[in-house]
Amino acid sequence: MRQLLILQKSFQPRITKICKASTDTIALQLGEKLTNLFMSVQNILSVNFLLLSSLAGRFQEWSSTQLIGDELVRLVAFLGIYKMYGNSYEDCTTSLLAAEKNSREVYLLLEWLIKHPLARRQPLISFLITPVQRVPRYILLLQDLLKETDTTHPDYTNLKLSVQKLMEVASGINRSLATQENSLKCIEIQSLFTSEVNIVAAHRRYIDGGLFLKQCRKDRKLRQFFLFNDILIYGIPVPGTGRYFFSCELQLLRTTIFDIPDDAIKLLKNTMQINSSGKSFCIYFDTPEEKMKWMTLLSGTITDELIRVSTLKNQQGLDDQPEAPVWEPDHLSEECILCKTAFTIIRRKHHCRLCGKVVCGPCSQQRLLVQYYEKKTRERVCDTCYNASS
């Protein structure tokens, strides 16, 4: 309880005072969340003092048949406050880490706290996690006590029941921690991009990531992919920094994948095609095993997302968005797909935004609004697609 008392007596007044007096919106919002968390800390301390007081009375009159299990069972009912704390802790620590980066006032406050003599160079988050760690220690203690208690002892049943109830509390906290860990992972990935990217969301979970060759317009280039439960994003590696330029975000709800057979003539090997409403392209893997892993992973994640969204209301229009075409690689096209004229320095290659085929300038002079494009401008299309649309 020492750390919680330090948090309550020494740190809480300073944190509350600075956050409430701040004109910084980030600091004010963080202050509100910390205030709610501190209320749970007060409740946890009260329950622990009550437990300590009741057990101290029993120990003063100790005998071979003395009971403590009945007190434990009675007080375990109040340990639901640890679940409440776990839920607030998740949201609060996520906000704390974000505020430390985006608010100078919060940064200076946390610097003061870590330099406080009672902190012993431990950050605030080390104090906040103390209640989360307490319940597993209670369980270990009572399990050891249960092992040393004979099954015929009058206290055995209550001790066993208290262990079961504590494990239920711990299970709820662990679920909160799993969500917290995922939120921190999303924040970490978001910080890897050089431009502002909104990755962190309450429902979003990180699945997996990898560095793969993607077919761009002219060449195959390395792109870093991050798969989440509802989106797939990728970025361009910035040499020597470990960071990425944001390139594209695909909604899994509007994404399908295809297995592309190996083709020695077209230099296709271990290839998977991704079609989406925003962009469509091919990815090349190093091995067949890696390709199969990602096809399975993407297929399963897309299916899960479709099931999740199908249970939500107001889904109208989700399936109306057409998929973007996969652009034919430049190096596979030596002549216009329509007029069969060979490409030269003067007769350049162009991609039709509707079918993705490579055509020449004279065969793609028309413009149309293309639905899958986010920017609502008229885009170049080939004569075939223009006539079909007309």
**pLDDT 10s digits, 84-96:** 787 777 778 778 8
CA pair distance 64, 155, nearest whole angstrom: 10
Confidence (pLDDT) at 175: 67
Gap between the Cα atoms of 265 and 294, Å rounded: 24
Is the pTM of the predicted complex or chain greater than 0.75? no
pLDDT value, residue 211: 95
Helix (H, G, I), strand (E, B) or coil at 368: strand
Question: Which residue spans within the chain are E strands per DSSP?
Answer: 206-215, 220-228, 231-238, 243-251, 255-260, 271-276, 281-284, 350-351, 358-359, 366-369, 378-381
CA distance 51 to 368: 74
Find all residues with CB under 8 Å of 176, minimum gap 6, and list them: 83, 86, 87, 89, 90
Residue 145 CB partners (closer than 8 Å, separation 6+): 159
Tell me the domain boundaries of the chain.
2-190, 206-310, 333-389
Q: Is the distance from CB of 341 to CB of 360 less than 8 angstroms?
A: yes
pLDDT value of residue 227 = 96
Q: Does domain 206-310 have CATH number 2.30.29.30?
A: yes
Locus of tokens 């897309």: 302
By the 8 A CB rule, do 96 and 183 touch?
A: no
What per-residue confidence (pLDDT) applies to 371? 67
Residue 21 main-chain phi, psi, to 5 deg: -85, -10
Residues of the chain with pLDDT under 70: 1, 172-181, 202, 265, 311-324, 371-376, 390
Q: Which residues contact 48 (CB under 8 A, 6 or more apart)?
A: 1
The pLDDT value recorded for residue 173 is 67
Residues in the chain: 390
d(CA 338, CA 364): 10
Q: Residue 145: enclosing H or E segment and its boundaries?
A: helix 130-147
Distance CA(215)–CA(289), nearest Å, equals 20
At 387, list the tokens. Answer: 């006539």
Residue 294, CA distances (Å) to 58, 231, 270, 287, 327 in order: 60, 14, 11, 11, 22
CA distance 8 to 130: 13
Give me the torsion for CA of 23, 24, 28, 31, rounded to 10°.
Answer: -110
CA distance 148 to 5: 32
Check whether domain 2-190 has CATH 3.60.15.10, yes or no: no
Task: Domain 333-389: give its CATH superfamily.
Answer: Zinc/RING finger domain, C3HC4 (zinc finger) (3.30.40.10)
The pLDDT of residue 303 is 85
Q: Could you tell me the CA-to-CA distances from 81 to 46, 103, 178, 365 in Å, in that order? A: 11, 30, 18, 68
Contacts of 202 (CB under 8 A, 6+ apart): none
Q: Which amino acid, residue 62?
A: W
| Contacts with 184 (C-beta within 8 Å, 6 or more apart), sequence order | 94, 97
Rounded to the nearest 5°, which phi and psi values hold at 180? -65, -45
